[in-house]
Structure 1
Amino acid sequence: MNQPPVLSPPDRVPRSTLRWSMMCALVTTCTVALSVVMGSSVAANESESEPTAMTVRLSQEVSTANAVTAALWPRDTEVLDVKDGEEVPLVQLPQSAIKQQRPNLFEVHLNPDDIPDGYLDKQGMADIEVSVRDTKQHLAGQSTGTVQLGVGKLEGTWVDAGAYDEIVAASRSSEPESVGLEVNMDLKETTTTGDSDRRTASGDESPTCIACVCVPSPTKLYEKSVWATISTAYPKENGQSKAWLEYSKSYSHSSTFGMAVNFGGGFESSGTRTVSGSWGQKWAAESAKRSFRVQVAYGYYRYDYKGTDCDGDEESYYRWRPIRETGGTKDINLSINPSFSDHCTTVSKGIWSRYRGDGKAYTNSRGVKIQDYLGFKLSVKSNFATEKTLHYNAPYEREMCGNDSRGIGFSGKHREL
């Protein structure tokens, strides 16, 4: 088998270089190519000192860390927005970056200085995809999540991008414990995970050579735009109180949207991605009960297996994955009130606003309206912040309720009584 070319480090790694359809035949070749693509000269045994980006808890025990692999998806729109029929250029992490803490508990370590251009955005976010294979290199499970570089006491660490503001705010009053993004992954019940007979073309064992195993590689088939609810408002039903949502055009805002995967038995929810946008929208103030929605482009991907250890009988699988917010918006009038009517307090006349990110986010387990393609809806988590603010305005004193026992200032959902 021909060896892939040895790469020379460019200023910006081109898309063709990052395609991991180009696999290694020898351990030495794999190590060289990996250090070039990752832009890092850090030795493999130094990864323990790198910050933990993701903590993965599996539903089954595995006998070796070699069953688990991790890759970076692009964050830069220029790199991520491949055309239909093109492969997505993933960056595979070295096996030394994955540490097995217990038979079903793993940590993925990631040095931000090793991330190439296009894989860490301006907000310090990175997308990590973790895969688990069985002894025959067949996929047993996969999940994806977004991590973000911390600030203040959390500087130099990774935190869950979907709860970023809340985690950073909590760190100001207590000593933070950084574990990155925590992911629970259900594995196929029929599989037995563990070490496999991983050998290079020369016959030598290569337990640390990621590119020498059978790596899933995604190809974008097409994309569809769907609507996702990012907040709701329930003003008092007397026609005088009004509410509206505002996305600031001066800042980047973000929401976390669910994904789905189909390993052959139908689609199931699996993983999330935090999507940021730099457009703005101020919904009109109205007295109607409403949900506020943004349009999200979802990509439909087929994963094929590539690598020297593929035995030819690996089955392709498919995933729906959010790519970007398109900038489209709308609101939907609601006919019923939410079930919560406790955690209430008095609010004076005038404008009341919820904008801090250290309380509950707006969450909706069925917020992404993608059921026409999946048969079910996906989850949404959208934090409040300076760039995402919910306003209520009334010319009288009223009662307002929330869904957090700490008070309406920490609630992710609100209603006036």
Structure 2
Amino acid sequence: MHDIKLIRDDAAAFDAALARRGMEPQSPALLKLDVQRREALGRQQEAETERNALSKLVGRAKASGDEAEFNRLRGEVDRLKTVLEESSEQAKHFDEALNQHLAALPNLPEADVPMGKDENDNQEIRRWGEPKALGFKAKDHVDLGEGLGQMDFEAAAAMSGARFVALKGGLARLERALAQFMLDLHTGEHGYMEVSPPYMVRDEAMFGTGQLPKFADDLFRTTDGRWLIPTAEVPLTNLARDAIHDDAALPMRMTAYTPCFRAEAGSAGRDTRGMIRMHQFQKVEMVALVKPEDSAAELDRMTGCAEKVLQLLELPYRVMLLCNGDMGFSAQRTYDLEVWLPSQDAYREISSCSNCGEFQARRMNARFRKEGEKKPAFLHTLNGSGVAVGRAMLAVMENHQNEDGSITIPAVLRPYMGGLERLEA
């Protein structure tokens, strides 16, 4: 959500920043609504002041027995009451229209975010690890999983439809092991507090993190009007809503392992094979709430936490700075981690870490008060995958596969697998 006061102060800069999102100037329409709203509020205030003054005169006229003056003043009071009601309705109308317009606008990208239309224009920052030569033709995770007899898309589709999977035996345990390893790493070494949040939320929570109103078609809704979370970012960030937090409590770092539910409305025909793009998947999420001056460094720290997961899993990856055309709605800067998949001979996204500035905090009224200051300020919010568990699993399967179709378990996961070193059919 954007601050109309800042748009008033420098409309040209606001429109220039939105242009980097590929949008036409929005300030003329916003400022027109703002003027109409303030004019209506002004009429409302003037009518209320005048009515209050006349009400006193009405009492005096009645006390003095001047019936003519009393009736005249009563008529003026009634007229002002009508003006007051009309101006109040107008102010409410323009305020709602202004807020709806502001709510539909994405966050402004930072000045050094590269220009571009899509993922092809993202900027590579660094790489870690070298894709190893397998010495044989790489199988994808679907062939590997079905070869193990532990990945069943047909049975899942029969009960739930496309983009679902049933994991069995060793792969089900591997998924659980990955999540437990990530949580232990983030809580034990990276300073995140583990949270077990709700999986269903109200409209206000989805609005706060920017999923609503624009992306309702990408979400699943229950029959009683709640939403299934698309990521734990939603409930974790909303833990800070409608509150003023203590400066000394910052930064607040939280992590959660939850299912995620996405309709994937705009992905028809994309990644239809396997576990790359599912309606339901598991993810370990990281969220940080920090002071504005700390958010840039916190984004680098969060990205490093996600990288550590991939390093310990011995998975080659690269870090990409997203261009303006590929960033999410609420982000002002995003780094994607892309893991190497031998079957595709390509890097694919496995984590996305974003600094949202005060954009989300303003939508959910999440603030903090600096020591010695009376006026609170908005928090900066950050979120990142730490990482997507299903994608981590398929990356482990493909990068640590053997020619006989078995999977070598990375050393860091073996304690979570009861010491098992290999998954075999």
Asked if TM exceeds 0.5, the reply is no
TM-score w.r.t. the length of structure 1 is: 0.29
Q: Which of the pair is proportionally richer in strand?
A: 1
Larger radius of gyration: 2
**Relative contact order (C-alpha < 8 Å, sep 6+): which is higher?**
2
TM-score w.r.t. the length of structure 2 is: 0.28
